[in-house]
Amino acid sequence: MKRLHPCIDCGKPCHYRATRCRSCAQKIFHSIKLPTGSKHHNWRGGRYQNPEGYVYIYKPDHPKANAKRQVSEHRIVWEQAHNQPLPDGWVIHHLNAIKNDNRAKNLLALPRKRHSPSLTVKEVQKRLREVEAELAQRRLC
């Protein structure tokens, strides 16, 4: 027969292998502050790729940070390249349709109304002509 013995904190009977009853053990567990951010054992530099393929960066002080205090990397890259925040109601489009290719040349900011496939194709064609002209210029040099 297994014997119950008193909890070392409150004196209630507890499991024969435990030193504390369940309620006292839970109080202690919830009072412990676990390391967060770069101190956490699972820290990967603040980068996270969601199942849809978008990359998020841990930036708790950014005004557009989500509930997990993360901001999409393409937003950060675009804002740094243009030295201004992305206007409200605008979205960023990846020209080559690769969601984790966040080079500044691959990002195009558009008002949400203009972010339709037909209008985006025109912007992609325009950017393609710019890249082709840049490559032709390099060949001449």
Looking at residue 89, which CATH number applies to its domain? 3.90.75
**104 in the same domain as 54:** yes
Whether 121 is covered by a domain: the verdict is: yes
Q: In whole angstroms, what is the distance from residue 56 CA to residue 53 CA? A: 10
Q: Please report the pLDDT score of residue 113 as a whole number.
A: 81
Cα distance between the two ends of the chain: 90
Q: How many domains does the chain have?
A: 2
Q: Would the pLDDT of 141 be above 80? A: no
Q: How far is residue 77's CA from residue 70's CA, in Å, rounded to a whole number?
A: 14
- Residues 110, 88 within the same domain: yes
**What is the per-residue pLDDT across 62-107, written as a single tens digit (0 to 9) for each?**
999 999 999 999 999 999 999 999 999 999 988 888 899 999 988 9
38 within a domain of the structure (yes/no): no
> What DSSP element (H or E) covers 124?
helix 117-140
DSSP 127: H
Average model confidence (pLDDT) for the chain? Answer: 87
Structural domain of 87: 44-140
Is residue 36 situated within a structural domain?
Answer: no
Same-domain check for residues 26 and 54: no
